[in-house]
């Protein structure tokens, strides 16, 4: 996160919170897709 913050000229905590929020969103989407795929198989 430190290098990203430096490259984007942003505070490190802003980068960390953005990454955290984005990863949580991705996990949720992947979880839903996996559940949908399981139901589609059976």
Contact call for residues 40 and 26 (beta carbons, < 8 A) = no
User: Tell me, what's the pLDDT at 42?
Assistant: 66
Contact call for residues 5 and 11 (beta carbons, < 8 A) = yes
- Looking at the structure of the chain, the number of domains it has is 1
Residue ranges making up the domain that contains 9: 2-41
Question: CA-to-CA distance for 17 and 28, rounded, in angstroms?
Answer: 17
| HEC-encoded secondary structure of the chain | CHHHHHHHCCCHHHHHHHHHHHHHHHHHHHHHHHHHHHHHHC
Contact call for residues 5 and 15 (beta carbons, < 8 A) = yes
Q: What is the pTM of this model?
A: 0.74
pLDDT tens profile 1-42: 999 999 999 999 999 999 999 999 999 999 999 998 888 876
């Amino acid at each position: 996160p430190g290098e990203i913050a430096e490259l984007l000229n942003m505070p490190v905590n802003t980068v960390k919170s953005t990454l955290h929020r984005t990863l949580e969103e991705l996990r949720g989407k992947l979880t839903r897709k996996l559940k949908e795929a399981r139901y589609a198989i059976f």
